[in-house]
Amino acid sequence: DIQMTQSPSTLSASVGDSVTITCRASQDIVTWLAWYQQRPGKAPKLLIYKASVLEGGVPSRFSGSGSGTEFTLTISSLQPDDFATYYCQQYNGYPYTFGQGTKLEIK
């Protein structure tokens, strides 16, 4: 199975800051990587797929990059709505696997 290692597990930031979350795959997944945002009690929301493609309706302050085994999610100019938990997921093959999640908190 492909292991996804996401860091940090918790991130404290202020409105207006830029933050970066990293996800590392245990083997090459090309660009078969998705990023989700999840708010408490809600379903995950797809933000980015194929490592860098922004899902429709997602604000442009979200961006993804990377290929192979190293990936990043960057959120620029944080808004109050952005404080949530973020997950990476590889869908290169089964079993699909997720990172452990990053909880983005207000400083």
Partner 1 sequence: EVQLVESGGGLVQSGGSLRLSCLASGFPFSHYSLNWFRQAPGKGLEWVSSISNTGTSTYYADSVRGRFSISRDNAKNSLYLEMSSLGVDDTAVYFCAREITYWGQGNLVAVSS
Binding site for partner 1 (CB under 8 A): 34, 36, 38, 42-46, 49, 55, 87, 89, 91, 94-101
CB of 71 to partner 1, least distance (A): 15
The residue among 1 and 70 lying less far from partner 1, judged by its C-beta, is 1
Length of the chain: 107
CB of 80 to partner 1, least distance (A): 23
CB of 65 to partner 1, least distance (A): 19
The residue among 15 and 30 lying less far from partner 1, judged by its C-beta, is 30
The residue among 49 and 83 lying less far from partner 1, judged by its C-beta, is 49
